[in-house]
Amino acid sequence: MKQISRRDFGTTLAKGVGGAALLATTPMACAMGNAQNKKKLGIALVGLGSYSTYQLAPALLDTEHCYLAGIVTGTSEKEQIWADNYAIPKANIYNYQNFDTIAKNNTIDIVYVVLPNSMHADFCIRAARAGKHVICEKPMAITVPECDAIINACKKANVKLGMGYRLHSEPYTQEVKRFVKEKTFGAVNYITADAAYRSSSNPDQWRLNKKLSGGGALMNMGVYAIQSIIYGTGENPNSVSAQEFSTRPEYFKETDETITAQFEFPSGAVGNIMTSHNARANRLYASCDHGWFELDPASTYIPLAGRTSNGKLEFPQESQQKLQMDDFAEHILYGKPNRAPGEMGRRDMVIVEAIYESIAQGGKKIDFDFKPEYGFGG
């Protein structure tokens, strides 16, 4: 697939969130008080769109093992706003052209790539070559070979690689994984996951531009649904069949609007997913031998909610991004398990490509050959 240039990205961004999603001005200059603490790792955010602005950066005010050390942006107007609000020194502010000089900056330990999907591989590989640990936002890339290139670059540079899969660090998802591991309700027989929202506000957003996104709802929300049925069964699938639907082709001109897919698992369990940019849905449900469990909502930022055949689930609410970034920092600092390694992101891209292949072949069943433990993380 042809890659889009940074200039093209800047043009598209200017039409969409570019100047609009700058930083909400709040007094945050004290955030860097512990910046010199060597037990806290410095993170640089690459791409300052809405997710960095409203989720990652605020979370980094509360993290225990990492902090916001730097930024990389293609919008010069954002530089001073972020510098003022997060006390970021000028030496730790980069653009897309001088990004590679980050290799000389010892205060930055981790690079978190939060750019449009088509730019993930480029900046993850460059970050690894600069000697920085890498967090890659989902999806990992727009092709499986790009995922391989990222993994190989990180291995060659001897740096850690994690996916921005925040849900693996939050308590409701961890409880689901415990149910599956301990067979609290017996074996899972049937599982379904929906992950969808209605897009209608901005037809020029980068997610509707296939050069930038690599795909539509499946590459965005669909990753959550795929993840859900995998940690909700504790298995990687044997096969998938898929279908695509469009009711608003005038709006979704280049990217998929709604996709459904059916999975078979080694244990005999079966599963369904639905993902869409034209509907609202956010649920995980599993039927087991001796009961059931459910998260609804299952993948929002906060709060999640859950119940089982035994009753309601309740856990304290914390920023999922805070928990995720602290978990990755502890993986680097103390050797704790990597909850979402790069291989997990690659596995999900294998499944995404298989879904698109099944659709192209009229719903044909596509088989997988995953190792039993492949891509589960810590």
**The pair of three-digit structure tokens given for residue 266, joined into one six-digit string:** 């080694």
Same domain, 66 and 16: yes
Point out which residues pair with 241 in neighbouring strands.
262
Burial degree of 337 (CB within 10 A; 0-12, 13-18, 19+): exposed
Domain at 252, CATH number: 3.30.360.10
Cα separation, 374 vs 352, in Å, equals 16
- For residue 39, the model assigns a pLDDT of 85
* Residue 334 belongs to some domain of the structure: no
Q: Catalytic residue numbers?
A: 138, 224
CA distance 61 to 63: 6
| Tokens coding 168 | 């693996």
What strands, in cross-sheet order, belong to the sheet with 188-198? 311-313, 306-308, 291-295, 278-288, 188-198, 270-276, 258-264, 239-245, 366-367
Terminal-residue alpha carbon distance, the chain: 32
pLDDT score, position 344? 97
Say if residue 87 is in the same domain as residue 185. no
Domain count, the chain: 2
Whether 228 and 127 map to the same domain: the answer is no
* Structural domain containing residue 216: 167-315+342-367
Identify the sign of the CA torsion 231, 273, 354, 122: negative
Identify whether residues 21 and 86 lie together within a single domain.
yes
Is the same domain home to 104 and 240?
A: no
Tokens of 73: 């942006």
Positive or negative CA dihedral for 335, 332, 213, 257?
positive
Shared domain check, 180 and 117: no
Domain co-membership, 304 together with 362: yes
In a domain, 191, yes or no: yes
10 Å Cβ neighbour count for 340? 29
Is 252 contained in some domain? yes
Q: pLDDT 10s digit of each residue in the chain, 378 long?
A: 334 444 444 444 433 333 333 444 443 443 343 333 458 999 999 999 999 999 999 999 999 999 999 999 999 999 999 999 999 999 999 999 999 999 999 999 999 999 999 999 999 999 999 999 999 999 999 999 999 999 999 999 999 999 999 999 999 999 999 999 999 999 999 999 999 999 987 899 999 999 999 999 999 999 999 999 999 999 999 999 999 999 999 999 999 999 999 999 999 999 999 999 999 999 999 999 999 999 999 999 989 999 999 999 999 999 999 999 999 999 999 999 999 999 999 999 999 999 999 999 999 999 999 976 566 665
**Of 123, 147, 164, the domain-final residue:** 164
**3-state DSSP helix/strand/coil % of the chain, to nearest 5:** 40, 20, 40
* 125 shares its domain with 217: no
Task: Please identify, among 135, 164, 193, the residue that sits at the C-terminal boundary of a domain.
Answer: 164
| Residue 249, preceding peptide bond in cis (omega within 30° of 0) | no
Q: What pTM does this model have?
A: 0.91
Indicate whether 200 and 58 sit together in one domain: no
Do 88 and 203 share a domain, yes or no? no
Residue 10 lies in a domain: yes
Residue 336 lies in a domain: no
* C-alpha–C-alpha distance, residues 127 and 137, integer Å: 14
Residue 377 forms part of a structural domain:
no
In a domain, 324, yes or no: no
Residue 51, domain CATH: 3.40.50.720
Q: Do 178 and 150 share a structural domain?
A: no
The answer to whether residue 378 sits within a structural domain is: no
- Cα dist from 198 to 139, 224, 255, 280, 292, whole Å: 19, 16, 14, 6, 29
29 and 149 inside one domain: yes
- The residue out of 118, 140, 164 marking a domain boundary is 164
